A and B are shown apart, each in its own frame.
Chain A
Amino acid sequence: MKYMLTLVVATLAGFLARLYMLRRDYRQYPSYPQGWAIHLFLGFIGGAIGAVIVPAVLEGDYSAISFLLLAASQFREVRNVERQTLASMEATEMVKRGTAYIEGIARVFEARNYLAIWVALSVAIASELLVSIGLWRVGVSAVVGVILAMGLVRLMQGDQICDIATVELSEIKFDGGLVLIGETVMMNVGLPDSRKVYEERALAGIIRPNGPNAKATLANLGQMQAIAHDVSSMIGVYMDVGEQEFIPMVRRSPSTGSLHVLMVPSERDEDAFLAAIRRVPILEGAIRKPLTSEAGKMID
């Protein structure tokens, strides 16, 4: 029982770290409350694993440690589960997330469990190192946990579109059935009624990358689909099932590397539209850094 305090404090720290990392935003993912229950329980297991490792080492019980590490590797399954859930829900999305976005989300959920384990482990280590100061160690190890959790979350935070590009409104032009932004053909809208909707309600934006790295990142198809999905989930989209001509479009201008976004939002608000584009996360799997290569530097 001499490790009870350490176990309880560290497990709780891992659990709370997982809770802190769960965020409810416009995506509503993980869904509330069932999705939360799943992830909080996994966070609790992660916290318990991180907490038990320290007493196991101190007692020299190395077979226990092996089993704990084996248990930790089960968190890989989280990624598969998330991927399957999101992929099976993809058919019900008006604007698809795209496989790259799904992979990104699945990876984040796996990683967050490992972060919970790290927090629990560090709290357990702090608690055991400070056995001499009695109950005060609870406070000190709690501070260690808070600092580590906040630091890790900060490190794990990815960029958004506004960090790598400038976003502006652009003008929509029509040429017969074609809808153009600048010189880039976005789509062919055949029906006169649909064209009228575009003339009256559509909004267009241009995403200009800041430099070659951003340009290469924005060229990713998954990133482009993620922009279409996220902007429509933030400001709503004016379409019904089967109205393919109103699906938000993201097209790339080959000459400049800029992205053109064309959509018919449910409410025509230019500021909200731009704010939504700026807030779209950059997918981890889309990031490219050509400038770190010799050839990339030569082109720049």
Chain B
Amino acid sequence: MDKQILAVIAVDPTTVGGGAPIFYARDKDELAEIALLISRIFGAAAHDLNNDVMIIVKH
């Protein structure tokens, strides 16, 4: 059961950084759209960090 962050999606570039692939969205709608696409590609779950940042985690 090793969980892994596959991607980070953010609206505001200043809120995120680091090693995982980061995707920037223009607004909340695009954020959800990108999260949906990436999560379906990996078969992973999208989690909302409630600060306009979403992470895709493989459980």
Most B-side CB within 10 Å, residue of A189, A191, A241, A247:
A191
Q: Are A177 and B48 in contact (CB under 8 A)?
A: yes
Closest to A176 in B: B50
Closest approach, in angstroms, between the C-beta of A261 and any C-beta of chain B? 18
Q: Is the interface of A mostly helix, strand, loop or mixed?
A: loop
With a cutoff of 8 Å between Cβ atoms, the chain B residues found around residue A192 in the complex are 32
* Contact of B25 with A by CB under 8 A: no
Q: How far is the CB of B57 from chain A (nearest CB, A)?
A: 8
| Residue of B with least CB distance to A191 | B46
Report the contact-size class of chain B (Cβ under 8 Å from the partner): 10 to 19
Residues of B within 8 A of A254 (CB): none
Query: Is the C-beta of B44 less than 8 angstroms from some C-beta in chain A?
Result: yes
For the complex, give the distance between the alpha carbons of A188 and B55 in Å: 11
A262 CB, nearest partner CB in chain B, Å? 14
Kindly supply a per-residue 1/0 record for chain B positions 25-47, scoring 1 wherever the CB is within 8 Å of any chain A CB and 0 otherwise. Answer: 00000001001100110111111
B54 at the interface (CB under 8 A from A): yes
Report A178 CB to chain B, min CB distance, Å: 8
Give the CA-CA distance A193 to B42 in the complex, in Å. Answer: 17
With both chains docked as a complex, state the minimum distance between the C-beta of B20 and any C-beta of chain A, in angstroms: 15
Complex CA gap A241/B40 in Å reads 10
Set of chain A residues within 8 Å of B49, measured between Cβ atoms? 177
Instruction: Tell me which of B47, B49, B59 has the highest count of chain A C-beta atoms within 10 A of its own C-beta.
Output: B47
Are the C-beta atoms of B46 and A245 separated by less than 8 Å?
A: yes
Q: Which residues of A contact B (CB under 8 A)?
A: 176-177, 188-194, 241-245, 247
